[in-house]
Every structure is written in structure tokens, then in C-alpha cells.
Structure 1
Amino acid sequence: MEFTIRAKGHKNISATHKTTLEITKEDYLTPTGHCIIGIEANKSMFDFTDEFKEKLRNAKKIIVEIEVEGIKDTIIGEGHKDLILNHPTDIVIRKSNYICPRTLMINANKSAKDINRKIVKKLKEGKKLIFRIKIDD
């Protein structure tokens, strides 16, 4: 099962946060948003079906593939039975096991600072981001 979100970069993207990575539906980014790698996302967790949310909660492995102009990076994490998955604008990947309405997955192997720097450079130029969430059934 897969869910694809499209977003775009912004000149203020730094992608230096050590524990989280985020995309948002918001249309702006301040220089302090160190975990944000994409803005103006075309979908939020509100757009996930109930079936997809349930699969995320039960997933032992969630794969997020990010792609910008053919350059890809992959983040692997896990679900949790307590995931809320209802934030209207933000989707956050966490290296920790902290859960809030913005949390997509926990115990991830990468945060914003770990993303391929070629991707980050393109995002700083405002390029388009494809954010694919995959669950192994």
C-alpha cells in the first residue's frame, strides 16, 4: 500500500534537524524551521483513508521515499498502535518514539540532517518534492 504527497522546496530549507523531518501544507517557511524539507504539500494526514491509518499503526516497517528531480533518498521507520495521524497540515518523521497528532512514524533511521545533500540543495532552489509513504503488507 502506498500514499503519495507532492510538495515543494523553499529558499529557507536547511534540513539540519537531528531528530525529525517534516513536510507541511503551510505556504511559508522561516529560517528556524530546521526539520522542514517541503511546503505547500497537496495532502495531509486528513487525506489518509482509515484503512491506510490502521496499516500505519500496525506497521513494523514504514518506508518513505523522497524524490527531487530524479534524486531519491529513503527513510525507514515503524508504526505504533497509538499513532493519532490527524494533523491538518504537518507530517513528521521522528527518530525518537514520541507520538503526537503530527507523527507519521517513529524510530526512523534518518532525520532532516541525514537527507542526501543534493536533494536539500534542489529543495533550497524551490524544486518539487515527491514524498511516497509505503507499507509492506
Structure 2
Amino acid sequence: MVEAEIVYARGHPRIKATHATTLEISREEYLTERGDCIIGIGADRSPKDFSRVFKEALRRDDSILLAVIRVGGLVDIVLAQGSSGLIVDSPVKLIIRRSSFIEPATIGIKANKAARDIDRRIIQMLRDPGTVLELRLYVLGLDEVESIYAGSRGILQD
């Protein structure tokens, strides 16, 4: 079963997105110079707001987090792993990490991308406070991932 959540945030002139190991979206309305992992502020939701079913899905060691970042007509995708150790309870921010470090804001670990890896055209657009970021979060089990892979093999072989 695929579980999903959607988070909306907006840009800020100080967005740098240069952090090598984390990617963050915050409910806070400000951004300091040190916030180099933040790609969006003023988020309408945080991990604390996610459904119980979504959180439970993230807490499976075999789960995969698919994060789809959409800004204007541009899209970037981040993949991460779930973990039975995830807390998923921050009222302020959500973080996807390349590392295995877990704290209440962490929603995915061992990610394939961090803030610095996000399409730079998206980051440029997010430096405008009027820009809206849509983050679609999907949690897939290993069986869904294998099904997608099996289907894509057929497409690639035709």
C-alpha cells in the first residue's frame, strides 16, 4: 500500500540549498544565513501533522520514501529509506538526510540527494518569496518498488 502526504511551502531570498547531507523544509517564516539546507519556509504542515498510517509506513525498515519536489513546471525527485527508528514528530521542520542520523524532524535517511543536489533552476526560483514549492511524499514498500521495477523492465525491453 502506498501512503502519501503533501506539503506546501514558499521561497525566500536567502535560500542557498548548498548543504551536502540534508534537505529541510520549515514552517518558520524566516531564514538565517546559516540555513543552507533549507529549500522552503512557511510550510503548511510538518511531520507532527502527518497521518498515523503515513508515519507507521515510514517506520518500516523496508520502506522507501519518494519525495517529489515541484516548483512551477520543474520537478526533482529524492529517494530515501524509512526506518523503525524514525520519530516523525517535529512540529516545525521536516528533514531528509543522506546519513542515518534520526531526530524528530527526520522523515528519511540514506537519501540519494541533499539540498545541494536539487536542480539549481528550482533553487533559483525558490529565491523568490512568491514561489510556491509543492512536496509530494510517498512511502512505498519493497513490494511496490519491485512491481514498478518489473513493469519498467518490460517497457525498456519493448
TM-score (norm 2): 0.85
1:84 corresponds to which residue? Answer: 87
Structure 1 residue 130: Cα displacement? 0.2
The residue that corresponds to 2:101 in the other structure is: 98
**SS of alignment partner, residue 76 of structure 1:** strand
- The higher-RCO structure (CA 8 Å, 6+ apart) is 1
The aligned residue for residue 22 of structure 2 is 20
Name the TM-score, length of structure 1 as normaliser. Answer: 0.97
The DSSP-based 3-state class of the residue aligned with 1:34 is coil
Give the CA deviation at 1:49: 1.2
1 or 2, which has the higher helix percentage? 2
Aligned-partner Cα distance in 2 for 1:84–1:44: 12
Task: Please tell me the residue identity of whatever aligns with 1:136.
Answer: L
| Structure 1 stretches of at least 4 aligned residues deviating more than 2 Å after TM superposition | none
User: Greater CA radius of gyration, 1 or 2?
Assistant: 2
Answer whether contact 2:23 2:115 (CA < 8 A) is retained.
yes
Instruction: Tell me how far apart the structure 2 counterparts of residues 9 and 119 of structure 1 sit (CA, whole Å).
Output: 10
Please name the residue that 2:149 is paired with. none
Match of 2:7 among 5, 10, 17: 5
Q: Which amino acid aligns with 2:43?
A: A
Long gaps (5+) in structure 1: none
Q: Give, as a single letter, the amino acid of the residue that structure 2 aligns with 1:128.
A: V
Paired letter, 2:40: G
TM-superposed deviation, 1:60? 2.5
Answer whether contact 2:59 2:84 (CA < 8 A) is retained: yes
Aligned to 1:36: 38
Q: CA deviation at 1:61?
A: 1.1
Q: 1:75 aligns with which of 74, 78, 85?
A: 78
Gaps of 5+ in 2: 142-158
- In the alignment, does 2:115 pair up with 1:107? no
Alignment-derived partner of residue 140 in structure 2:
136
Which SS does the other structure have where 2:78 is aligned? strand
- Correspondence 1:120 to 2:115: no
